[in-house]
Amino acid sequence: MAGEIELKGIRKTFGKVEAVKDLDLLVQEAEFLVLLGPSGCGKTTTLRCIAGLERVDRGKVFIGGRDVTELPPAKRGIAMVFQSYAVFPHMTVEKNIGFGLRMRHLPKEEIKKAVREVAELLQIDELLDRYPSQLSGGQRQRVAVARALVMRPEVLLMDEPLSNLDALLRLQMRAELKRLHREIGTTTVYVTHDQIEALSLGDRIAVMREGEIVQLDTPNEVYDKPANVFVGGFIGTPPMNFLKAKVLADDKDVFLAIGDFRLEVPDVWKAHLREMTDKTVILGIRAENIEVHPETNGGRLPANVIVAEPLGSQQLLTVQVGDDVLKVATKPDLSVQPGQAIGLALVKDKIRIFDVQTGAAITFP
Amino acid sequence: MSYRYLLRQTLIYMAVLTLALWVLIPILLIGISAFTPRQELYLWPKSIIPSHFSLETMRFFLGAHGVVRSLLNSVKVAVLTLTFTLAVGAPAGYAVARFFFRGREAFRLGILITRMFPTALLAVPLAVTFIRWGLYDTLVGVALIHTAMALPFAVIITTGIFMGVPKDLEEAAMTLGCSRFGAFARVALPLALPGLAAAAMFTFVISWNEVFAAAILTVRNRTLPAHIITTIQASPLDFRFAGGFFMILPALLFMFLIRRYLFHMWGGATAER
Ligand SMILES: Nc1ncnc2c1ncn2[C@@H]1O[C@H](COP(=O)(O)OP(=O)(O)OP(=O)(O)O)[C@@H](O)[C@H]1O
Ligand SMILES: [Mg+2]
């Protein structure tokens, strides 16, 4: 209960821009929730509303069951790590980390001890006497995290804390943040537009678009069962493939038609799909759920290779199917040439279908 | 160490040297003259280095009627001006830097317009108004006018300074337990201090050097420049040199003091690290 966050219908506009539109969200205690979405979708604004750095136009914010909507940041029991780190340049690392505790007027000895502990946890105890200008980007980032953690907040808010680091360091810090969360278990809301980060860190991911949450699920669900075309297209490298398909049914069977090709569907769908006979849907499938066969015959979706890109651990094919272009992941040693005709087999259980008009996933109980 | 590099360095240093001499030579000459025995000042040809160091001229100047008093007046006026200007200018600069409000851009431009009116034009109405308000011939009155002169620059300078302090830092302080004002006082202000010191220096010098308004708005409570300008026609040469030296001295001292402060703040961009 202590670290639970609840947003009830919060709304925030800047002039004519609706940055957050009537957003509801419940973050469980000790959960690591990632806010993920493209640039400008309102992630930072949502986080700042939780922090109290932004006043909501309407709606309510609860932290640990307490209505904090009207409270200033200092009274909310939160700590925040900024994208820019925002470490104070005129204070040593030690002073930076101890800043919040000094604001609480704790005894000096106690502050020193707490600072040392958290510094050790983040492996910056050697740097306590330095000024931020003498630190590397990664070290500064650790100071920012330490400064937030030392407060033992009910809720830890992080706004793209890794985005200013180089790729390798980012990988390292990602693992470290994960370890920290496991050790400390503070409720965390983490903003990023990097889907890999979201998938690897989050207990759950809230995918945002234009000020709204379009899907709130575990990483696997978000990846395998996107709630709509937007989520499927936003998450995953490469993003999910989309094809136009038509629902066809005869006396015996129901299937999806892609051009002349008839695609088998999972058995549980059949009864429901039958009701949609002759409707066009969008079929979604991920690159790794398509198998490639060098020969085109025998119940396979015919395709033409446009480009083959070797990417080390796998090979990425761009292929043409009718009017649609698909990405297909294959073994790195499969030898194909541009222009070559191949046959594709779609893994039946991994197929998703979406409404043509709304783009929402069509699911069957 | 190519030829071009050397050439460029030489040119740069020559330019710097020229500028430095341009400023320093008059100061040096005035300084030397101020400590030259009186008779030697009137010799022709005059040697640059005096035969001996002498406080005679200075003593004469300081002993002259009204000098010490006007000197003190000047200091008082400058300090008052500094206080008024920073008290009003720094918050104004902070507001312009941090908050969106209607007419912000107009304010930023408009503030300079106050400098468009020549003081000469305003002198008579000002004098009349000041007499009516009982501010005529008071140091506070002069300080107010100097504040009006320095304020636009102070606002512009402090706006720039506070814009240079990232908003994030204050917000971080707020999430760590500070109130809005606490965040300003503990984070924005210390970071802005070097810049504020520069603004202060600027304000001090504006007030210290201002002659016209000070001369018009006072009769008995003259500041040093006002005193000198009204007496200089009738004064001997040595008085002028000593006066000039005294005009320069506080500004120089003040600059040296502040300069140390400017460069020695936690070593940010400079030498130490
Ligand atoms: N202070 C502000 N004034 C005006 N508009 C703002 C302000 N802050 C955010 N916005 C607008 O609100 C929308 C959401 O912004 P927000 O910063 O929350 O996006 P974001 O999801 O964090 O994006 P990014 O990934 O680029 O950081 C954007 O359209 C942005 O232009
Ligand atoms: Mg953002």
pLDDT over threshold 70, residue A97: yes
pTM: 0.82
Cβ separation of A90 and B182 shorter than 8 Å? no
Question: Which of A53, A106, A189 best probes binding to B when mutated, by most B CB atoms within 10 angstroms?
Answer: A53
A171/A154 Cα distance (integer angstroms): 26
Q: Are residues A158 and A218 in the same domain?
A: yes
What was the pLDDT predicted at A1?
Answer: 56
Considering the domain boundaries, does residue B204 fall inside one? yes
Among positive and negative, which fits the CA dihedral A293, A296, A300, A303? Answer: positive
* Same domain membership, residue A180 and residue A113: yes
Sign of CA dihedral B73, B76, B79, B83: negative
Segment A284-304 mean pLDDT:
87
* Residue that finishes a domain, picked among A197, A217, A234: A234
Say which range, A96-110, A160-174, A218-232, B220-234, has the weakest mean pLDDT: B220-234
Residue A115 has pLDDT above 60, yes or no: yes
pLDDT in tens, B15-54: 999 999 998 998 888 888 888 887 777 777 777 777 788 8
B263 — pLDDT class (breaks 50, 70, 90): low
**Residue B87 Cα distances to A10, B25, B142, B157, B158, angstroms:** 39, 36, 17, 14, 11
- Residue B223's CATH number: 1.10.3720.10
Q: Give the highest mean pLDDT range of A22-26, A176-180, B150-154, B197-201.
A: A22-26
pLDDT tens digits along A27-80: 999 999 999 999 999 999 999 999 999 999 999 999 999 999 999 999 999 999
**Per-residue confidence (pLDDT) for residue B184, from 0 to 100:** 93
CA–CA gap between residue A177 and residue A191 (Å, rounded): 13
Hey, is the C-beta of B164 within 8 angstroms of any chain A C-beta?
no
B123 in any annotated domain: yes
> Is B38 part of any domain?
no
Ligand 1, atom nearest to A47 Cα? 18
Query: For residues A68 and B261, which has the higher predicted lDDT (pLDDT)?
Result: A68
Chain B positions in Cβ-Cβ contact with residue A74 (cut-off 8 Å): 174-179
Helices (H), B36-118: 38-41, 56-63, 67-98, 104-113
Residue B168 to residue A84, Cβ atoms within 8 A: yes
Q: Do B176 and A51 lie within an 8 Å CB cutoff?
A: no
Residue B239's pLDDT is 82
What's residue A98's pLDDT?
Answer: 96
Cβ atoms of residues B59 and B34 within 8 Å: no
């917000």: which residue's tokens?
Answer: B171
- CB of B187 within 8 Å of a chain A CB? The answer is yes
**CB of A332 closer than 6 A to ligand 1?**
no
* Partners of A228 in beta bridges: A360
- The pLDDT assigned to B272 comes to 32
**Range of the structural domain that residue A338 is part of:** 241-355
Asked, for residue A361, whether it belongs to a domain, the answer is no
pLDDT tens, residue by residue, B71-106: 899 989 999 999 999 999 999 999 999 988 888 888
Ramachandran bin of A295, using left for φ above 0, alpha for ψ from -120 to 50, beta for the remaining angles: beta
Q: CB of A215 closer than 6 A to ligand 1? A: no
Residue A73: closest C-alpha in chain B: B175
What's the rounded Cα separation, in Å, for the pair A345 and A328? 11
Question: What average pLDDT does the structure give for chain A?
Answer: 92
The pLDDT-based confidence of A108 (bands split at 50, 70, 90) is: very high
What is the domain range of residue B174?
Answer: 65-272
Distance CA A326, CA B148 (A): 70
Number of structural domains found in chain B: 1
Q: Which residue has the tokens 């198998």?
A: A291
Rounded distance between C-alpha atoms, residue B174 and residue A52, angstroms? 9
pLDDT number for residue A189: 97
Q: Is the CB of A38 under 6 A from ligand 1?
A: no
pLDDT in tens, B91-146: 999 999 998 888 888 888 888 887 777 877 888 888 899 999 998 899 999 999 99
- Minimum CA distance residue for ligand 1 atom 11: A19
Same domain (yes/no): A225, A122: yes
Instruction: Return the CATH number at A251.
Output: 2.40.50.140
pLDDT band at B273 (very low <50, low <70, confident <90, very high): very low
Residues A282 and A228 placed together within one structural domain of the fold: no
Chain B residues lying within 8 Å of A72, measured CB to CB: 174, 179-180
Question: Chain A within 8 Å of B265 (Cβ-Cβ)?
Answer: yes
User: Is residue B34 in some structural domain?
Assistant: no
Least confident range from A155-164, A274-283, B80-89, B191-200: namely B191-200
Name the least confident of A45-54, A80-89, A158-167: A158-167
- Scanning the structure block, which residue is given the tokens 């002498």? B54
A·B CB contacts under 8 A: 67
Residues of chain B above pLDDT 70, percent: 93
